[in-house]
Structure 1
Amino acid sequence: MERKPVGKLLLFGATGDLARRMLLPSLYGLHADGLLPEGLTITGSARSDLDDKGFRAFTRKALDQFLSEDRKNESALAGFLDRLDFQAADLSDESTFQALADKVGDVAGGLAIFLSTAPSLFEPAVKGLQKVGLAGETVRIGLEKPLGYDLPSSREINDTVAAVFPEERIFRIDHYLGKETVQNILTLRFGNSFFEPVWSAQGIDNVQITIAETVGLEDRAGYYEGAGALRDMVTNHMLQLLALIAMEPPARYDGTAIRDEKAKVFRSLRLMKPEEVPHYTVTGQYVGGAVKGEIVKGYDEELGKDSDVETFVAIKAFVDNWRWQGVPFYIRTGKRMAVRRSEIAVQFKPVPHSMFSGRGGLLQPNTLVIRLQPEEYIELLVMAKEPGLDREGVRLREVPLKLSLDAEFAGTRRRIAYERLLLDLIEGDPTLFVRRDEVEAQWTWTDAIRAGWDANRTKPRHYPAGTWGPAASIALTERDGVTWQDD
């Protein structure tokens, strides 16, 4: 399909929480900066009984609540609201699609569809869209995760969508790929000559990827109880981060080259046998504790019943290829943890010989820290000599070389990840979207872990809210002589 901007956007789930917090503010931001195609119309759809005027009022209220004050501009807001209209539709009711097609009108100029709905509605949605002429060659579709809960269900969803839309017109969304710092991983690795010579098992001892949340269930109890931390965070965001760290250098910055290299990483992940899973994974579930000085309930108390769903998982993974053989990738994610943090820590191997040891100087291996949130920075920890005459020995200290993206680009507005992804969907750039073979290779790997949990009847270990998870997760790294990057 030729890559060109569409003239229309159809937004399913337009009155949902994601739309209020992210999608509508993102679209407004693109409009206010003159980045949306001139004349682009945005049709919202949901089961809500709204008309055009009601949806515009709903949108204005959402923007008042979730836009920062410096982004509010009455003239820009009025122009954005003029782009909006609304058509109620029930995706499970085929009879509601014709009115939707009538509202959207002619799609010869291109239509992008953003489907932010439950996966159970994907099949009736795409069939209904096809039946009323909203799935032709000028139409592309964006699918919000989750795309299934295991490999068979993921394949079923992919088969369903593929029966109506070819792969080049399917845009699977992982919003982490829209984050500036995540995209900066590619620039850091492939735009600087000094990293690549040591970016392998010869130069790197281990890689740690952490996504820690301080929140609990919030309003996601129904979804989370059926998902758990492995499905919710690892299969999606964390394996994508791992792939960006581990992938081979792509020949070009485009959707085919980058996604080819990521897919190779996913296919190279070492599948765990059931008997290996207890040695390479730790699961946990938070109980009552204190987060930021506030007393909070445990998972079962929040849910209102006993549950064995994991709210924490730590994994020791391996990428079995030439570049990474033997290098452990430690992954951990959890809710109700000590701090909110998303980061990647790459620990390099120590120097082969220390000339300072005879004078008392102690060396630490260099570490590269890529912080994704709440701050955005890249930090390289290097060894330096403390000032002094060294009469009592050489004193060495680890010091940070820090690039703060927030400070360095202070004059540039930091964009919501969905701004980039929505604009790429509208313009037809697939680079930061996930391809089918990636999704299915990810599920293949995590399904083997879950099968191991089932085979071993693994139950999550309890950890107090406000901590870094079960003590067993510390042992997962400590037995290899590695400490989690918790500073």
Structure 2
Amino acid sequence: MMLSKEFKMDTEKSAIFIIFGGSGDLAHRKLYPSLFRLYKTGLLKDHFAVIGTARRPWSDDYFRGTVITSLEESFDDDKKIMEEFAKHFFYQSHDVNDSEHYIALKNLAAKLDDQFEAGHNRVYYMAIAPRFFGTVAEHLNSEGLKTKDGYNRLVIEKPFGRDLDSACELNGNISKAFPEDDIYRIDHYLGKEMIQDIPNIRANNPKFEAALNNKYVSNIQVTLAESLGVEDRGGYYETAGVLRDMVQNHIMQIIGSIASDDPEAKDAGVIHKNKCDLFASLKNLTPEEVDKNFVRGQYDTDELGDEKAYRQEDKVAEDSQIETFTAGKVEFNSKRWSGVPFYVRSGKRMPNKASRIDIVFNEKVSELGIKPNTVLTLLIERTNDHSILINGIDYKESGQDFIKFPEEPEFTKACEAYESLIIDILSGNRVHFTLWDELRSTWKYIDSIRERWDSQKADFPNYISGTMGPDSAEMLLERDGNSWIWD
């Protein structure tokens, strides 16, 4: 099993964080609480500072007040601890297109570097709209914000483009200012403990690893389901849809964790090469294969009419063609996985929230001492205090011994996803981030689906809120003689 990251927190880190979009929701809801947890562990202590930038004309004191308020919503700690933490926070009103503002930002960062002895290390965090990524990266380079004596790491939130062409353009702009090794593209699912543990589970369970191939696996299912609707994200969803929002990044990266070769690899370069090779083997889809292998849906109101239909949400077109559900069959042209369907599914307004991987073995797996037709479930989000199930029950009670942990540790949830990823950024560990070559392959695949859908008019809405999506999602598997495990 992966050592809990709490064991890595014995060395204080030093850095100046410059957060573009520092007044926004992501920063206050995810980044500042994560930094506070690291502060309480001692990983961040005396030698760090955070500069929040945005257009709003805030003062340092006002900014610190907003940080403390965001912490009070998540923590019961003494307010004095929060106030001490907030003393490391500074604010600068900033126009991303104004070169003078970058010079002022450079001077402030240099001043704080001396004040906090931060070792000339910089973390530039893009918590802003993607259309500004290239502009900011260019100015960071041209106005000399990058230091020579420390590291300079650029952190980018999704979405990284909305198709292959825009992703290529965005990557080209960023790459002019930062080399690939300094770019950290965040996918928060890669910060989740179960996803980070998958290579270790595979490496420490030889029988399980031996069964992960097309001889013994009938199919693999990845489900990311949400019970909520789009809430206040209607404007964003109208430009994205669940295919771009969930499949292109999160689901593909989850598949990469369970299906790539060599789980014992420790070097980030080797790990990412294996993922790149896997995604490069994605089976190309013709328009007819898209029709056959992928379905889409959009939620209606519930049976009582109490919930809004997607088309009734704020900032959503009355005749919107954007999908809030998709299910599909992903296939690979690789020696290991040829012939094995990877069924993927993600949607809004489903009965419950669920994030899981279901590995369905066939009858031949008995050759390895595993019961025929066993289903192994890895719960990305713990359910009823369980993390791994065999045929629907806790693996420790299943009576099967093909999967176990050498030291039987508890899943302590030592780190939230963002906290875990920030630790990796500070440590220079790029294993749990997404490389450009991976994105290029997954965008190419997703584009073939999107282009087909955009050429047709869907009969929306086509599933009731609180249900498992459109009937066609069930039929997709039934046609192959299979069925969804989570139902």
TM range (shorter): 0.7 to 0.9
CA-to-partner distance for each residue in 1:170-221, whole Å, 9 max, x for gaps?
A: 1111010000011111111122111121110011000000000011111211
CA distance in structure 1 between the aligned counterparts of 2:165 and 2:366, rounded to whole angstroms? 51
Root-mean-square deviation (CA, aligned residues, Å) is 2.6
What's the offset of the Cα at 1:454? Answer: 3.1
Give the aligned partner of residue 246 of structure 2: 233
1:145 aligns with 2:155: no
Q: CA 1:399–1:195 in 2, change beyond 3 Å: closer, same or farther?
A: closer
Q: CA 1:439–1:453 in 2, change beyond 3 Å: closer, same or farther?
A: same
Give the aligned partner of residue 409 of structure 1: 410
Q: CA 1:420–1:436 in 2, change beyond 3 Å: closer, same or farther?
A: same
Give the aligned partner of residue 96 of structure 1: 101
What are the equivalent positions in structure 2 for 1:244-393 lying under 5 Å apart? 244-250=257-263, 252-289=265-302, 295-302=306-313, 303=316, 305-351=318-364, 365-373=373-381, 375=383, 377-381=387-391
Give the aligned partner of residue 446 of structure 2: 446
Give the aligned partner of residue 115 of structure 1: 126
Give the aligned partner of residue 52 of structure 1: 60
Question: Does the aligned pair in 2 maintain the 1:382–1:399 contact within 8 Å?
Answer: no
Task: Tell me which amino acid in the other structure corresponds to 1:85.
Answer: F
CA distance in structure 2 between the aligned counterparts of 1:352 and 1:148, rounded to whole angstroms? 41
1:18 aligns with 2:26: yes
Task: Tell me which amino acid in the other structure corresponds to 1:379.
Answer: L
Give the aligned partner of residue 392 of structure 1: none
Paired residue secondary structure (2:244): helix
Task: Tell me which amino acid in the other structure corresponds to 2:243.
Answer: L
CA distance in structure 2 between the aligned counterparts of 1:329 and 1:44, rounded to whole angstroms? 42
What's the offset of the Cα at 1:101? Answer: 1.6
CA-to-partner distance for each residue in 1:49-91, whole Å, 9 max, x for gaps?
A: 11111111010001011x243xx24443233112111111121
Task: Tell me which amino acid in the other structure corresponds to 2:125.
Answer: F
Question: Does the aligned pair in 2 maintain the 1:208–1:330 contact within 8 Å?
Answer: yes
What's the offset of the Cα at 1:94? Answer: 3.4
Q: CA 1:222–1:403 in 2, change beyond 3 Å: closer, same or farther?
A: farther
Task: Tell me which amino acid in the other structure corresponds to 1:333.
Answer: S
Question: Does the aligned pair in 1 maintain the 2:361–2:373 contact within 8 Å?
Answer: yes
- Comparing 145-154 with 126-135, which one deviates more in the overlay? 126-135
CA distance in structure 1 between the aligned counterparts of 2:366 and 2:205, rounded to whole angstroms? 26
CA distance in structure 2 between the aligned counterparts of 1:250 and 1:216, rounded to whole angstroms? 36
**What TM-score results when the alignment is normalised by the length of structure 1?**
0.88
Give the aligned partner of residue 84 of structure 1: 89
What's the offset of the Cα at 1:259? Answer: 1.0
CA distance in structure 1 between the aligned counterparts of 2:14 and 2:158, rounded to whole angstroms? 23
- Comparing 126-135 with 366-375, which one deviates more in the overlay? 126-135
Q: CA 1:343–1:202 in 2, change beyond 3 Å: closer, same or farther?
A: same
Paired residue secondary structure (2:261): coil
CA-to-partner distance for each residue in 1:424-450, whole Å, 9 max, x for gaps?
A: 112221111111101111101101111
Give the aligned partner of residue 8 of structure 2: none
Paired residue secondary structure (1:271): coil
CA-to-partner distance for each residue in 1:94-148, whole Å, 9 max, x for gaps?
A: 3322222221116662111111111111122112222321135531110111010
Question: Does the aligned pair in 2 maintain the 1:9–1:426 contact within 8 Å?
Answer: no
Paired residue secondary structure (1:265): helix
Structure 2 alignment gaps of length 5 or more: 1-11, 114-118
Question: Does the aligned pair in 2 maintain the 1:6–1:112 contact within 8 Å?
Answer: no
Task: Tell me which amino acid in the other structure corresponds to 1:381.
Answer: N
Question: Does the aligned pair in 2 maintain the 1:381–1:399 contact within 8 Å?
Answer: no
What's the offset of the Cα at 1:229? Answer: 0.5
Paired residue secondary structure (2:178): coil
Alignment counterpart, residue 256 of structure 2, candidates 243, 250, 253: 243
CA distance in structure 2 between the aligned counterparts of 1:147 and 1:352, rounded to whole angstroms? 40
What's the offset of the Cα at 1:413? Answer: 5.0
Question: Does the aligned pair in 2 maintain the 1:274–1:453 contact within 8 Å?
Answer: no
Paired residue secondary structure (1:283): strand
What's the offset of the Cα at 1:335? Answer: 0.4
Give the aligned partner of residue 130 of structure 1: 141
Paired residue secondary structure (1:276): helix
Question: Does the aligned pair in 2 maintain the 1:114–1:143 contact within 8 Å?
Answer: yes
Q: CA 1:460–1:266 in 2, change beyond 3 Å: closer, same or farther?
A: farther
CA distance in structure 1 between the aligned counterparts of 2:193 and 2:27, rounded to whole angstroms? 21
Task: Tell me which amino acid in the other structure corresponds to 1:60.
Answer: I
Task: Tell me which amino acid in the other structure corresponds to 2:312.
Answer: E
Question: Does the aligned pair in 1 maintain the 2:202–2:263 contact within 8 Å?
Answer: no
CA distance in structure 1 between the aligned counterparts of 2:172 and 2:459, rounded to whole angstroms? 33
Structure 1 alignment gaps of length 5 or more: 355-362, 384-396
Question: Does the aligned pair in 2 maintain the 1:21–1:62 contact within 8 Å?
Answer: yes
Question: Does the aligned pair in 1 maintain the 2:20–2:53 contact within 8 Å?
Answer: yes
Paired residue secondary structure (2:238): helix
Question: Does the aligned pair in 2 maintain the 1:5–1:428 contact within 8 Å?
Answer: no
Q: CA 1:382–1:96 in 2, change beyond 3 Å: closer, same or farther?
A: closer
User: Identity, % of aligned pairs?
Assistant: 35
Paired residue secondary structure (1:289): coil
Question: Does the aligned pair in 2 maintain the 1:366–1:382 contact within 8 Å?
Answer: no
Paired residue secondary structure (2:363): coil
Task: Tell me which amino acid in the other structure corresponds to 1:152.
Answer: D
Any runs of at least 4 consecutive aligned residues in structure 1 with deviations exceeding 6 A, and if so which? Answer: 397-404
- Comparing 190-199 with 244-253, which one deviates more in the overlay? 244-253
Paired residue secondary structure (2:50): strand
What are the equivalent positions in structure 2 for 1:1-12 lying under 5 Å apart? 6-12=14-20
CA distance in structure 2 between the aligned counterparts of 1:460 and 1:267, rounded to whole angstroms? 33
CA distance in structure 2 between the aligned counterparts of 1:178 and 1:308, rounded to whole angstroms? 32
Q: CA 1:92–1:222 in 2, change beyond 3 Å: closer, same or farther?
A: farther
CA distance in structure 2 between the aligned counterparts of 1:289 and 1:484, rounded to whole angstroms? 22
Task: Tell me which amino acid in the other structure corresponds to 1:331.
Answer: V
**What TM-score results when the alignment is normalised by the length of structure 2?**
0.88
CA distance in structure 2 between the aligned counterparts of 1:202 and 1:288, rounded to whole angstroms? 43
> Number of residue pairs matched?
455
Paired residue secondary structure (2:239): helix
